[in-house]
Amino acid sequence: GKCFSSGVDVAEHIGDLASKMIESFHGMFRLMDALGAVTVSSVYGSCLAGGCELSTFCDLVIADDTAKFGQPEIQLGVLPPIAVQIMPRIIGRKAAMDLILSGRIISAKEAMDMGLINKVVAKGDLTEETDRFIKPYLSLSAEVIRVTKKAIKAGLMDDLEPSLRIIEDIYLNELMRTADAHEGLKAFLDKRPPEWKNR
């Protein structure tokens, strides 16, 4: 394809579809969270919204110099639940606040400088460099990696599940009940600027 991912279908955030989308999309993250293997994301082009959440959730991220990262959901009147949960732990509170609250898009170099990704390579070298990047992990004990990942997760402030459930509740029962969330999504689908009501 042209890019890693520009996120999920905006129409899936509207009405009754929102809870189904959250359940399905977050199911993927719950599955990844339970994996003992190292997860690797190899990114080129746009890596936005749900795509950025997916990439960020991986243990290791390598990108080519065409990659652009961002969480533009706020510009549509919604929030990125996975990013809200994991980005502050990965890049720190201030950088996460900046990216999530502004919705701005950053280059691969800026993403690497802030710790969102591990490595940037030249366009055209991504596949070869990804293979080279992951080679050391492939020679290690899968069981030792599994146990070490478990220990690293235990060292974090809290597990994914309790905080993700709170974030999902905020998303579905507070955010999706605001007029502005519906206006932002509808405006995007109608290809017009949103008219915020601040409610």
Active-site amino acid positions? 53, 73
Answer for the pair 61, 117: CB distance below 8 angstroms, yes or no.
Answer: yes
**What is the SS3 assignment for 56-99?**
HHCCEEEEECCCEEECHHHHHCCCCHHHHHHHHHHHCHHHHHHH
| Pairing between β-strand 60-64 and β-strand 40-43 as defined by DSSP bridges | parallel
For 68, phi then psi, to 5°, come to -130, 130
CA 91 to CA 157: how far, in whole Å?
14
Q: What are phi and psi of 141, to 5 degrees?
A: -65, 125
What letter represents residue 24's amino acid? S
Report residue 40 CA to chain centroid gap.
13
Q: Which residues have C-beta within 8 Å of that of residue 140, sequence separation ≥ 6?
A: none
Q: Are 70 and 100 in contact (CB under 8 A)?
A: no
